[in-house]
Structure 1
Amino acid sequence: MSIQLKQLKTELSAELDSILKYWSKHTLDNENGGFIGQIDCNDHIIANAEKGAVLNARILWTFSSSYKVTKKESHRKIAQRAFEFLADHFYDAEFGGLFWSINVDKTPKDTKNQIYALAFAIYGLSEYYAIAKDEKALEIAINLYLKIQEHSYDPINKGYFEAFTRDWQPIDDLRLSDKDANEKKTMNTHLHIVEAYANLLKVWKDKKLQNDITELLETIEKYFINTQTGHLRLFFDENWIEKPDVISYGHDIEAAWLLLQCAEISENQTLIENYAQYAIQMAEVTKEGLDTDGGLWYEFDTKKNELVAEKHWWVQAEALIGFYNTYQLTGDKSYLDIVYKNWKFIKKHILDKQNGEWFWGINRDYSLIEKDKAGFWKCPYHNSRACLELINRIKT
């Protein structure tokens, strides 16, 4: 192994420790339970901010997964805290779903069943079960999987619908966030359902689940991957009529490695071979979004034919894994060079060296994007996962 690669692994191990320290020190809500709902870019806690299911589920995944590497009891305890808070306050035992958000006093706020959130709960719960062997965690994960299959799965056209009311009725606003198109089937939700299902399969060897993963990967292959361009198609209606949108470099490079990992867990040889090829193709076209400084731009708006000139933290994190994965698949060191350059960019512009954690991102002129340090969408999942994946992949 090269000295440079060894140095990268050492630095990423230190950065993982730094990320976990930040979340351990600053985000525990000792007054109301669980975790602080929002911390702004200046590290100020926003009092009475609602608590999001996705944030809680991602904290659960992060500390559970990190415990496998760090073996620190403090990390296991935070994972347990996240599990108990999710099970007690986000999980909807009455209807078998998951509240999208709760108030600071732990009462439900937004009670819709956003399938994306259920998927992340499965992802976190299955990871926690792997370290704690808590049967309740596995039981809730399986229950959520069964609810997704019962209500969200489209038996006619395949794929999964986005969102429902608390009691599983149709809902008008299906969007994950204000920036998303209000469409019934999205790449982002399908990507994270298959990620969640694959993680569940690692701890619950169920044949039906394995078959559902295989079908999901085949559906993604058929509709979401544009094999002509190598980019992802993002939004569709229920009949798979595409609603063209932006090119998302972050999702392209995330899907490149993550879908291959899911295919490997599925043990379907044809899908493994196909997704290995897609991984290379998608990484190759993602290079279009690389800037000369090593950072990866957020999106390209094809309608306006212009770059969305921002470099977000999560896009950089996924670039680290995606391009390293392509280096592993091809042996081509030019992909490794992209990883080194991207990490250098992250260290220079994205890491908050004073207070810890990663900034949301920067604009074209290198000014900070003044958004949350922790919040509904700013979670420790992407950056900790980038550290964990490369720590595990770089063999010393």
Structure 2
Amino acid sequence: MDFKLLARQYRDELLDNILPFWLEKSQDREFGGYFTCLDRKGNVFDTDKFIWLQGREVWMFASMYNKVEKRPEWLECAVQGGEFLKKYGHDGNYNWYFSLTRDGRPLVEPYNIFSYTFATMAFGQLHLATGNPEYAEIAKKTFDIILSKVDNPKGRWNKVHPGTRDLKNFALPMILCNLALEIEHLLDKEYLERTIDTCIHEVMDTFYRPELGIIVENVTLGNELSDSFDGRITNPGHAIEAMWFIMDLGERLGRPELISRAVGIALKMIDYGWDREYGGIFYYKDRLGHPTQQLEWDQKLWWVHIETLISMIKGYRLTGSRECLDKFELVHDYTWSHFRDSEYPEWYGYLDRRGEVLLPLKGGKWKGCFHVPRGLYQCWKTLEECK
């Protein structure tokens, strides 16, 4: 495998295709912030603004400015989005709404914890890019609110009746593994280490089930398995993404045993999620093989495959695992041949089980300027370090 050639492929796709698309097509020059509902050609088909996707795009362009090149247009894009978020995205107390109208009026209340997590990431990177202390303060205050919500992320908007089947979800400890490192420069060292230890424990000792050899999405408050729709559901992509977060933490903490364990789990989750008939990784599975309540269970999603690419190339770089490299090649071939649009910029997000395009959109309520560019960047930089 020619790592230098592959690194250029990922770099060029990021810098020549993906980032120019979002820079040109998504910025709302009249009201600020970003359009994310973009059709195949990049035309806006809906003007609602989803806070978590606004935060992701602020983070992305600030991150590229900080890590790749000090391009003024990237910083300008990030700052204008951050200012829109600062002005309209929360209720005045950093409770971040889920969505707004184009001009910034609240549409959906602050029920979704990921509005908070990506606001924290956004303002953390903006502070690094600009040195503006106000951005640091927003990130820190929002992070404190996130930690206060760990036991009940949806707060008063939680639909579940308490006391009957109380479950906790994998997504929040998983995202905190990444978020803690993202805002490391803003946190007290002891506070940071305590948060990281808790997140690693939750991901690797609570949601990873050695008796099953896989990661589950929900467990009881007593850390037991639940034989219910929510208790049986697995999301292979989530688990695989979390494992590269753990690899990064293992490298940061000097814990090779943690890296090795994360690599082993990621490989298991790919085998578990791989569609042996049509290729690609299933979106959802039931751990007991029952029908899922998610009707989209057999779709092939962009982010699942991109996160798998990151996890496998990092696993190879950190451990030299030939199996990681083989899996990277397998998923690379599937991803570039199925998700990349050869006619228009940006990538498709949603394929049916057979790998045919299900929705031709390039952005929507759930897909924005995040997984594709972050994945291309991570793979580019990791491939440059591979031998």
TM-score (norm 1): 0.85
Q: Are residues 1:284 and 2:251 paired?
A: no
Identify the residue that residue 152 of structure 1 maps to in structure 2: 149
Q: Are 2:337 and 1:340 equivalent residues in the alignment?
A: no
C-alpha separation in 2, matches of 1:344 and 1:76: 33
Q: What's the CA shift for 1:333?
A: 2.7
SS at match of 1:185: strand
Alpha-carbon distance between aligned partners in 1 of 2:80 and 2:316, rounded to the nearest angstrom? 37
Contact 1:126/1:137, CA 8 A, preserved across alignment: yes
Give, in whole Å, the separation in 2 of the partners of 1:317 and 1:115. Answer: 23
Matched, 1:377 2:362: no
Task: Tell me the equivalent position of 1:395.
Answer: 384
State yes or no: 1:86 paired with 2:85.
yes
Paired position in structure 1 for 2:9:
11
Per-residue deviation at 1:205? 4.2
**Per the alignment, in what secondary structure is the counterpart of residue 28 of structure 1?**
coil
Q: Contact 1:314/1:383 (CA < 8 Å) preserved in 2?
A: yes
| SS, match of residue 5 in structure 2 | helix
Distance, in Å, in 2 between the alignment partners of 1:358 and 1:201 is 31
Q: 1:102-135: per-residue Cα shift (whole Å, max 9, x none)?
A: 1122111112242222112112221222222221
Q: Whole-Å Cα distance in 2 between the matches of residues 113 and 349 of structure 1?
A: 34
In 1, distance between residues paired with 2:291 and 2:110? 35
Total equivalences in the alignment: 370
Partner of 1:27: 26
Instruction: Tell me which of 185, 210, 222 is aligned to 2:205.
Output: 222
Per the alignment, in what secondary structure is the counterpart of residue 62 of structure 2? helix
Question: 1:129 aligns to what?
Answer: 127
Could you give the per-residue CA deviations for residues 131-168 of structure 1, whole angstroms, max 9, x where no partner exists? Answer: 2222111110100112223x314xxxxxx42212xxxx
- Using the alignment, how far apart are the partners of 2:282 and 2:174 within structure 1? 21
RMSD: 2.5
State the percentage of identical aligned residues.
22
Q: CA deviation at 1:264?
A: 4.1
Q: Does structure 1 retain, via aligned residues, the 8 Å contact 2:36–2:368?
A: no
Contact 2:251 2:259 in 1 (8 A): no
CA distance in 2, matches of 1:108, 1:305: 39
CA–CA distance in structure 2, aligned partners of residues 230 and 116 of structure 1: 28
Report the alpha carbon displacement of residue 215 of structure 1 after superposing the two structures with TM: 1.8
Q: 1:236: Cα distance to partner?
A: 3.2
Distance, in Å, in 1 between the alignment partners of 2:249 and 2:142 is 19
Change (3 A) 1:309 1:330: same
Q: State the Cα deviation string for residues 19-75 of structure 1 (Å, max 9, x = none).
A: 10111111111233211142245644224x321111011101211222221332211
Alignment pair present for 1:253 and 2:240: yes
Opposite residue 206 of structure 2, the aligned amino acid is Y
Query: Quick check: 213-222 or 136-145, which moved more?
Result: 213-222
Aligned-partner Cα distance in 1 for 2:116–2:166: 18
Offset at residue 183 of structure 1 (A): 6.1
Aligned counterparts of 1:128 and 1:31: Cα–Cα separation in 2: 22
Contact 2:177 2:245 in 1 (8 A): no
Alignment of 1:100-119 (within 5 A): 100-119=98-117
Specify the SS of the correspondent of 1:394.
Answer: helix
Separation in structure 1 between the aligned mates of residue 34 and residue 185 of structure 2, nearest angstrom: 28
SS of the residue 2:214 aligns to: coil
CA distance in 1, matches of 2:123, 2:74: 15
Please name the residue that 2:346 is paired with: 357
* Distance change (3 Å), C-alpha of 1:241 and 1:162: farther
**Residue ranges of structure 2 left out of the alignment (5+ in a row):** none
Letter in 2 for 1:25: E
1:298 counterpart = 2:299:
no
Q: CA deviation at 1:216?
A: 2.2
Conservation of the 8 A alpha-carbon contact between 2:174 and 2:199: no
Counterpart residue identity of residue 348, structure 1: S
The whole-number CA distance in structure 1 between the counterparts of 2:204 and 2:273 is 22
Q: Check conservation: 2:207, 2:219, Cα contact below 8 A.
A: no
> Is this contact kept in 1: 2:246–2:258, CA < 8 A?
no
Once the 2 structures are TM-superposed, how far is the Cα of residue 296 of structure 1 from its aligned partner? Answer: 2.7
Using the TM superposition, name which of 229-238 and 106-115 deviates more: 229-238
